[in-house]
């Protein structure tokens, strides 16, 4: 990993639980020594990507991040379209829906929507980091990603999130073959205990997955009828979202609606 990549990788440790991080913690999280982290953070601060907190003992994201986010949203209003799709999913399934995007070797949740139908529901946070191997979203993305990306993900340490997390690369690859055949990934307790999630990939102009849409349901409430409804809605919403962001689905993607395929590949 180059100097620029090392510096930018430090930004990935900021999230809603860690909006401010001290130098020692950044060194611990990144595995870099403190002198290297200090040099990278000083350069990032000079460019406005981070800034010192009021106490001066920790760092937080700087205004340049907001500027770039605004430019991205103006160019490709992904969040606006995604929130529309998530509201549609939650209205149809009466369950929590969420969207995640691939950022390098990370899978980040960027938006979610709750249904008001049930008092008990799956909760999550925007900016939450998901795992590729433990979530339906991650598995949906891996199933349609290039082999080199899958190899790189599965070569890394695969953390155990729950007793049901699959960490054996060979068994994960076998699951990916099934997902490619159906077009929909499922995870039961793989990332959070007692959560059953279904997900489908969304694609960019290069026909590679850029993220995923998912519906997350408490295990006790999942039924065959709900699973079928969620699968149908996810498939339709992913096709619509892919088209609206200028993407194209690969020819190998199974779709229930053949008209959606002609829209997405034509």
My answer on whether 110 and 210 are in the same domain is yes
**Mean pLDDT to the nearest integer, 147-171:** 96
Query: What is the overall mean pLDDT for the chain?
Result: 88
Which pLDDT belongs to residue 230?
96
pLDDT band with cut points at 50, 70 and 90 for residue 75: low
Instruction: Output 82 or 199, whichever has higher pLDDT.
Output: 199
What's the whole-number mean pLDDT along residues 169-179? 96
Under 8 Å between Cβ of 199 and 184: yes
Give the burial string for 111-129 (b: 16+ CB within 10 Å, else e): bbbbbeeeeebbebeeebe
Instruction: Please state, in angstroms and rounded to a whole number, the distance separating the CA atoms of residues 132 and 153.
Output: 8
pLDDT of residue 253: 85
Q: What end-to-end distance do the CA atoms of the chain give, in Å?
A: 38
- The parent domain of residue 43 ranges over 3-67
CATH number, residue 199:
3.30.450.40
> Is the confidence at residue 126, as pLDDT, over 80?
no
Higher-confidence residue of 223 and 128: namely: 223
Pairwise CA distance, residues 219 & 187, whole Å: 10
| pLDDT mean over 128-152 | 96
d(C-alpha 118, C-alpha 104), whole Å: 36
Q: Give 162 or 245, the one with higher predicted confidence.
A: 162
* Residue that terminates a domain, selected from 67, 93, 121: 67
User: What's the average model confidence in pLDDT over 30-38?
Assistant: 94
- Residue 258: pLDDT band (50, 70, 90) is very low
Instruction: Say whether both 59 and 156 belong to one domain.
Output: no
Instruction: Map 87-129 to HEC letters.
Output: HHHHHHHCCEEEEEEEECCEEEEEEEECCCCCCCCCCCCCCCE
Name, in order, each residue with C-beta under 8 angstroms of 71's C-beta and a sequence gap of 6 or more: none
pLDDT band at 262 (very low <50, low <70, confident <90, very high): very low
Residue 72 lies inside a defined structural domain of this protein = no
CB 220, CB 205: distance < 8 Å: no
Angstrom distance (rounded) from CA 153 to CA 32: 21
For the chain, percent helix, then strand, then coil, each to nearest 5? 45, 20, 35
Instruction: Kindly state whether residues 22 and 96 are assigned to the same domain.
Output: no
Asked if residue 93 and residue 62 are part of one domain, the reply reads no
C-alpha 77/C-alpha 57 separation (Å) is 36
């Amino acid at each position: 990993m180059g100097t620029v990549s090392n510096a930018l990788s430090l930004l990935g440790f900021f999230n809603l639980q860690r909006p401010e991080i001290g130098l020692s913690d950044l060194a611990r999280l990144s595995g870099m020594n403190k002198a290297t982290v200090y040099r990278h953070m000083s350069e990032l601060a000079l460019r406005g990507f981070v800034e010192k907190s009021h106490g001066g003992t920790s760092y937080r994201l700087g205004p340049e991040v907001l500027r770039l986010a605004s430019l991205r949203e103006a160019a490709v209003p992904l969040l606006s379209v995604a929130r529309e799709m998530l509201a549609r999913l939650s209205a149809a399934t009466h369950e929590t829906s969420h969207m995640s995007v691939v950022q390098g070797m990370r899978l980040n949740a960027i938006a979610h929507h709750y249904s008001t139908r049930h008092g008990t529901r799956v909760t999550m946070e925007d900016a939450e980091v998901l795992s590729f191997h433990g979530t339906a979203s991650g598995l949906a993305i891996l199933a349609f990603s290039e082999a080199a990306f899958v190899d790189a993900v599965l070569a890394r340490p695969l953390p155990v999130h729950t007793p049901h997390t699959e960490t054996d690369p060979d068994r994960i690859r076998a699951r990916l073959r099934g997902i490619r055949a159906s077009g929909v990934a499922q995870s039961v307790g793989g990332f959070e205990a007692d959560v059953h999630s279904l997900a489908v990939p969304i694609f960019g102009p290069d026909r590679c997955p850029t993220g995923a849409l998912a519906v997350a349901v408490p295990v006790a409430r999942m039924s065959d009828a709900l699973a079928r409804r969620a699968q149908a809605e996810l498939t339709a919403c992913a096709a619509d979202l892919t088209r609206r962001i200028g993407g194209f689905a690969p020819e190998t993607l199974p779709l229930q609606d053949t008209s959606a395929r002609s829209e997405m590949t034509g």
